[in-house]
Amino acid sequence: MDVRLIGYARCSTREQNPDGQIIALREFGVPEEAIVVEMLSGNNFQRSAYQELVSQLKPSDAVVIDSLDRLGRDRDAVVDE
């Protein structure tokens, strides 16, 4: 079974730049077309691009992030997710 790598990059505001996260995801081996970028606060998981990513995950997929805080602000909620 092949593992499909899917990258997720998130910035809280439009003023922030996701380029550093995208570079790290590429260096990890995530294909450019498999990187999802979202420009929204991480105060909850009700983010459209994130929800779309999760809805399309298969058991053999691996979601790659640059830093755990890119998934959300609340550590316990991130662990639960």
End-to-end CA distance of the chain: 24
**Strands laid side by side in the 35-39 sheet:** 35-39, 4-11, 61-64
Report DSSP state, residue 51. Answer: H
Whole-number Å distance between alpha carbons of 58 and 45: 19
Q: Which residues have a catalytic role annotated?
A: 12
